[in-house]
Amino acid sequence: MKPYIGITCDYDSGEQRYSVYPGNPALILRASYVEAIEQAGGIPVLLPVSAQLKIIDAYVDMIQGVLIPGSSSDLDPSCYGELPLPRLGPGNPLRADFELTITRKAFAKGRAILGICGGMQVLNVAFGGTLYQDIASQLPEAIKHQQAAPGWYATHAVHIESGSRLQEICGGTSYRVNSFHHQAVKHVAEGFLVTARAEDGIIEGIERPGNGFVLGVQWHPERMYQRDQGARRLFEAFVQAAKLQPVRT
């Protein structure tokens, strides 16, 4: 049977000048995440933001894997014990609290977890890691990590650690990726390994060793999978790992 893959949605309060429906809260998710999971053999289940623990528990019970997608908002640095710096971007506390909570609960239940871009940052912070709040101001020697090229186009290389799950998936230790982030993992959470870095040293991949699938990448494979074999393999490996988890009936 195809596994059920929960994908967390973005939350638009309707209070911003760029809100999709001004004055009305909305839930948003790029269709490419859904399409990538479908193509990999999973059944996507969209998970609305909720602050109710019973609802979050129900989400985790009914899915076999959870995908935490990218985000245009930044995590509140108080989540990892820091004060906000001048270049910190806008936050989305309802979404952040929801995603941190469901990530921890999914991990406790042994669910497969894939964090993409901002989702990798959520995965790291959920288990005690920290972030660079703004790459350009904190690491001025870093390469450009917010590309102007099309989303499917890879703009820089990453080095992948030999023997890692990510290396097994991508099929090598050098891989070119797209890039749309101004924050990055600083100190990796205890129990996690750094499995990929950009040429400037920025962390681009983390994973939790063990029998389960708990992995984060800083790039956007959902925008590459139609053209890139490594991106397709990542979603396929995630969905395959989720198949091993029981589903509540």
Q: Could you give phi then psi for residue 104, rounded to 5 degrees?
A: -65, -40
Q: Radius of gyration over alpha carbons of the chain, in Å?
A: 17
**Residues in a beta bridge with 216:** 115, 206
* Burial class, 126, CB count within 10 angstroms (exposed 0-12 / middle 13-18 / buried 19+): buried
Tokens of 193: 């390994």
Q: Spell out the alpha helix ranges (H) of 19-155.
A: 31-39, 53-62, 93-108, 118-126, 135-138
Question: Catalytic pick from 145, 156, 181, 220?
Answer: 220
Collapse the DSSP code of 214 into the 3-class scheme (helix H, G, I; strand E, B; otherwise coil) and give the result.
Answer: strand
Q: Could you give phi then psi for residue 118, rounded to 5 degrees?
A: -60, -30
The dihedral built from the CA positions of residue 245, 6, 181 and 15, taken in this order, carries a sign that is: negative
Question: Catalytic pick from 99, 204, 207, 222?
Answer: 222
Cβ-contact 25, 73 below 8 angstroms: no
Question: Catalytic pick from 117, 181, 204, 207?
Answer: 117
Catalytic, 117? Answer yes
Tokens of 12: 């638009």
Catalytic, 222? Answer yes
Which residues does 31 contact at the CB level (< 8 Å), separation at least 6? none
Active site residues: 117, 220, 222
